Chains A and B, each alone.
Chain A
Amino acid sequence: MRSPLLRLTLLGGLTLGVSACSWSRFDDLTASAPVVLLEKPDSLNNGFGVSLATATNGGRSQVLVGGTVSTTGAALYEIGQEDAPNTSAIDTNYCSGANGKPCFLSSLIAGFANAQGPDQLHSLCYAVGTGEVVKQGLVMRCQDHSQYSLDMPPPAQQLLAMSIAQNQAPHDYPLATDRTDDPTLLASLPDLRLAWFYPERSTTLGELQLPDGMQVDDPSFGRSLAVLAVAGGRVLAIGVSGLSQVLLWKTEGDASAHYIGCLGGHSGMGRALAAGRVNADANDDLVISDSNQVRAIDGAALFQLSETTSTECDLAPSDLAGTLGPWECGSTTSDVSGCESSDFGAALAVGDLDGDGDGEVIVGAPRMSVRGQEKAGALLVYDAETAGGSAPVDVRFMSSAENGDELGRSIVAPHAGKRDIIAAGAPGHGKAALFYCSSLIPHGAAGSRCP
């Protein structure tokens, strides 16, 4: 009896010993994987990854992952400042609709390093949509779990009230902020072709007025937004891709904004907008995608534009000094293909991936094929420092790419220490991932997750 037991024990021990050696090599690879999937909370089942927002304050960097537009539920993740993120959500009560308080997620959500509440300043806050917290309005929630509402223009407020009261289908209220410590919040109501903003550290809204006689009647109005922080103020950009236009305002810190022109000239222009430091100056630049290309327009140049009453959309990117691009769909690896139907430019972000001080443009192509997986999606990275190149310098994708993932439907570039990383949503299968590595990162400066 003892002998068989001893033999079994020895056999099992030997087996486990040998197996442990083989297992460990996989653990070595995955222990600090370059791509980190954020764990989807069980309570969020509607389009996890449709929208993303990031905020950084006091060494803390966060990512908020939202779900399907007009539904409830977003999850907040603490990714820290190094390459050791907490992949579990630290707060899943963003726009949760708890206690019978309605909340409707926006297609674009926005993060704040600091946000002015009704009575105090809050850090690490997020504008996630509309609903009713204390009162009806734009719903804000901060990392200290405080929530409050921002007043909207009366038409928007009335529409929200009517929706809540009549239990009608909610409307989308896209939102955007800049990446400063005291960001300006830009909001729109495409269904009413209405847009407004909240200056830094203010809950007072300022409406964005078009010049008299200018008609922008297209449901794509306000589906894409961007806030550029430039020296002396902000540039507010609203895309109307249906009209291939990007409407521009600038504000100098108060609740007033001046219309400075309309960018056009390229089909589908304004499908997505992003703001960030693409060129070497300290001002944010405006990144615009159209049907086929992506360009970066110098933010400083835009801010230099004077207020105008022109109703024509006669401002071309090429007319502006410092415009970068255009960048087109491409790939640096055979694993990723299918540019012709890639939905290139569906989402944009700017991040300093290599930590050199200027940002790289990250373009989502959610319908690209990855290793034969159709619509798995990929992230194409363009470096403004690459003179004259229209091809991406880096392509990121998920190693577990699946058909219909649609990675790149939403993108942000949260801070992670001395550089930015990519956070991207793949709502097709409810995924959101952090991409720590890039081929642009100098060898030895990428941390433990990158080669």
Chain B
Amino acid sequence: MKKSIIQLTIACILIASTIYSQDLGTLRGVVTDSTTSEALAFGNVIVLDLNRGASTDSRGYFLIPQITANKELTLRVSYVGYLTKNIKIRLTKGKVTHYNIALVPSTIQMQTIEKIGEKVIEKNETDISLQRMAIRQIEALPQGVETDVFRSLQYIPGVQSTGDVSARYFVRGGGSNQNLVLIDGITIYNPFHALGLFSVIDPDMINNIEFYKGGFSAQFGGRLSSVLKISTNDGNKNKFGAKASSSFLTGKLLLEGPIPHGSFILTGRKSYSSSILKKFLNDQTVPIDFHDFSFKANYANPDFIPGSKFSFNGFFSGDNINNDDPFVEDFKWSNNVLGFKWFQVGDSPLFYEIGLSMSDFKGEIIPKLSNTRANKNEVTDVGINMDFTYMFDYKDEIGIGFNVQQIQTNLYIENDRGVTTDLGNSAANISLYAKYKFLQFDFIGVDVGMRMNMTTLSRNKEAESFEPRVNFTLNVLPEFKIKGAWGVYQQEMTTVSDENEVINIFEPWIITPDYLIPSKSNHYILGAELTPWKFLMFSVEGYYKKVEHLPLLNDKKILSSDPDFIEGEGESYGAEFLLRLSSDFATFSSAYTNAFAYKVVDGLRYYPKYDVRHTLNFLLELNFGAGWSASASWIYNSGLPYTQVVGYYDKYYLDDVFLPPTIFDPRRPYAMLGIQNIGRMPDYHRLDLSVSKKFRLGFMNLEVDVSAINVYDRKNIFYFKRDTGEIVNMLPFLPTATIKVEL
């Protein structure tokens, strides 16, 4: 198998070489920050003399083929927040000429967010449903306690939450377990701290984010709905530095600096107070304690292997809820991730990356002397991946990848009789993908790909072997694009999650049991983008997503012989509108989504808990200069679905079977439920404000951010406690502050 892949790759390269023009050269480069040497992702590079350009990728790399050789040309490199740089270049005929370009940060704080990720140069980039974000963009948003990547996603049209209490997100009608979260290409299985209130990803470790709401191309697999690809910082290659920050919840520390032929970065975060969590958890005190820690080291020595870059990274997070009371259970869960990558560029326009990874999740409910049942989940995911990208001189790209993933899951559950059973499994997924990006004409870009599962995690014979994907962009006019995507996606892992839980500790992962066919979705997406002026962008996207063989927890399971899961179906469709106005001083964006989502189980169709018909949000970001910036956001959602109470009856509770029968009346009202999720909560809306100031104090750079969540203290209903009649609201008016110190 390996042999055939290598042969295929070599064949592609040879074919490409034969048609490589000898009169022209290829320009390759990497764009970095001059002060830190961090890669600047999604920046713009243009050869002014030829009016041809490219955008940098998530590693800061760019490649422009067919550039006149042996002639001095001017290359303009621009990136928002940095001084635009014009450099003279001269290419060698028939060769790849490499330039390292360092941009100097602008001394005047310009508007920092409006153009990041827009890839204005590559007009035919196949990027429907793709949102690119730099960390500064996320930091500019009003913060709930502290900057959180997952919460920031909820400003994107098509991304939904079940309330501001949880950081879990739902994309285009898909469940939260259908979202793939990758840190430097490695899957994080439970990326949440503190009962799902915050993400485990410390923003300080992030360089850039690519978020695919659907229609993602063939290099991604294993999930039905979305991909969140997070690329981490490399660390400062020029000097040692340290950052410390503190919020009401955590203290953080970052250390970075150069090492011979490379750099390192260490980040750590630790909760020190859980009192702010009472605002999220209906005044309940949860003795939660969490931490996360990441490191990355890079090595790029041209004397060792020219064009190579090696990186070794790790990410570790842990949460503990330890109760002193022996009759209240304890909880702990953790993620441990290790990865090694070899990225290589050569003398030909070929990039390749070879990676080894290990992702491990452990979650445990320790009942101690309580009535709670024991539960322990372990996931071990070990993988090898190889990705090759070759760019032809006529700008088309071919991508080939090979991925081997060995996954072992264990889920130990205590049954009604106190007997522990293991629902775990172990299997390997070997997959190969190939995609061809047709980009040679500026008016059209097409990405055609196929993901082939040579072995599947599921032993069910109906597991899908082929996952075809197509993605296109058509430039009808320079200011007007039509985009579309179609694809088949398969997911062979699922969580044991109860749809009726609005807050849970963690969601155990298992390989879909063999008696179920792995779930499969089809995405159909069509959109248009209008940019009549540089400062105005308007886009619309419509989508239809059909999910088959959706595994759902069998809430009617009574006997141990009953299946744990049953099969359902999902369907969702909607339209998303985005308007963005930007200037050097301000950016205003508004997004509206009209969406519909359904699930069908046992022939009964119902709205999932995250089905929101109308979502509207406004976001205003202002940059006043001199380190001052501010933002305001207003979010409106029509009501979330809920299941109505259709009466009560006095239920007999076997509180104490030893009581004599004549004195018993152990009955309490039991709420009978109507058709699932047929009711709708009142509308949700909230205004958030944020002001931040950066300044220098002696040898330190300081940044103070003050945010206020739910400024007019809207009583947004979170849920109705049927057993007590209490209405529990979401976040009240919540002022927060963060201070950062940088050395």
Q: Do A and B come from one complex?
A: no
Residues of B within 8 A of A (CB): none
Residues of A within 8 A of B (CB): none
